């Protein structure tokens, strides 16, 4: 009887593992990130077919360091990779931050452990729009780019936080990603350290490309390519119709 129960438990654990793996492998963003890892972007085609990419240009020439706002439907891995290709540093993280909710995302904050961003993040992202942000390594530095950023859902105290790390040395280190929904959080060293140390953080090379988090009726999905010029696509989903319960307190970082 005991032997039979052990066999059943082993079978259930194996089944749960297989189902979890299947869910991860079949998630849309997981699939899109894997395709993007092997993608070679034709910039002429991207300019012709993607209006968001055209908006992020000057006189038809893609900018090397993009920070801007475009329609969320045009924020694709192809667009992010096309932007990353134009950056003249070897370590880059281009982030597409899609607002798929029914309110603005406001009050951006960011903290960089390594690297730089040339322009401030957009002050707000309207519903149905996406922010495009280019983070890169510092000139002459022997480190890549890593940091954390947050946007707040308008009318609430809730933030979506995104952690990323693109290392300088591969083989020893790998691209890393984390997303969380917070209450009363602000980008600083404490938030960066908290997300970096969290066991749910995703190491892209070993654990797939996609992860998600949810809280207070807010869901965030994100996926990252496994490349030195990385693309990171974030999708924030929510439908908040009242302010009831949106100002409840939880642990504060910062």
The total number of structural domains in the chain stands at 1
Q: Is residue 6 part of a domain?
A: no
Domain containing 87 equals 39-238
CA 15 → CA 8, 31, 137, distances in Å?
A: 10, 22, 42
Please count the other Cβ atoms lying within 10 Å of the Cβ belonging to residue 94: 27
The owner of tokens 């009831």 is 244
Q: Environment class of residue 54 by beta-carbon count within 10 Å: exposed (0-12), middle (13-18) or buried (19+)?
A: middle
Q: Is residue 101 part of a domain?
A: yes
Q: Is residue 247 part of a domain?
A: no
Q: Which of 44-53, 79-88, 103-112, 142-151 has the highest mean pLDDT?
A: 103-112
Q: Is residue 30 part of a domain?
A: no
pLDDT of amino acid 251: 40
pLDDT digits (tens, 9 = 90+) for 203-217: 997 679 999 999 999
Q: Is residue 113 part of a domain?
A: yes
Q: Is residue 50 part of a domain?
A: yes
Q: Which tokens sit at 173?
A: 């280190």
3-state DSSP helix/strand/coil % of the chain, to nearest 5: 30, 35, 35
Any residues with CB less than 8 A from the CB of 158 and at least 6 apart, and which?
152, 181, 182, 183, 215, 216, 218, 246
- Mean pLDDT value across residues 194-223: 94
Q: What is the CATH number of the domain that holds 76?
A: 2.60.270.20
Q: Is residue 27 part of a domain?
A: no
Q: Is residue 96 part of a domain?
A: yes
| C-alpha gyration radius of the chain | 19
Residue 134: beta bridge partners? 94
Q: Please give the model's pTM, rounded to 2 decimal places.
A: 0.84
């Amino acid at each position: 009887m005991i032997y039979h129960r052990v066999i059943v438990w082993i079978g259930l654990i194996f089944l749960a593992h297989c189902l979890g793996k299947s869910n991860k492998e079949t998630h849309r963003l997981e699939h899109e990130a894997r395709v993007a890892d092997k993608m070679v972007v034709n910039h002429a085609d991207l300019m012709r077919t993607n209006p968001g990419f055209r908006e992020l240009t000057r006189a038809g020439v893609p900018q090397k360091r993009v920070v801007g706002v475009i329609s969320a439907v045009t924020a694709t891995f192809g667009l992010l990779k096309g932007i990353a290709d134009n950056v003249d540093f070897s370590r880059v993280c281009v982030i597409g931050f899609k607002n798929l909710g029914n309110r603005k995302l406001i009050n951006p904050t960011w903290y960089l452990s390594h690297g730089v961003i040339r322009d401030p993040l957009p002050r707000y992202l309207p519903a149905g729009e996406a922010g495009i942000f280019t983070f890169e390594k510092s000139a002459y530095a022997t480190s890549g780019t890593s940091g954390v950023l947050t946007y707040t859902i308008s009318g609430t105290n809730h933030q979506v936080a995104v952690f990323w790390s693109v290392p300088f040395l591969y083989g020893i280190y790998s691209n890393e990603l984390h997303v969380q929904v917070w209450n009363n959080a602000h980008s600083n060293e404490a938030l960066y350290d908290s997300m970096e140390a969290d066991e749910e953080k995703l190491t892209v090379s070993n654990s797939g490309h996609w992860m998600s988090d949810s809280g207070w009726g807010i869901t965030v999905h994100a996926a990252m390519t496994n490349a030195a010029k990385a693309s990171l696509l974030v999708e924030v989903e929510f439908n908040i119709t009242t302010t009831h319960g949106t100002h409840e307190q939880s642990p504060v970082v910062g």
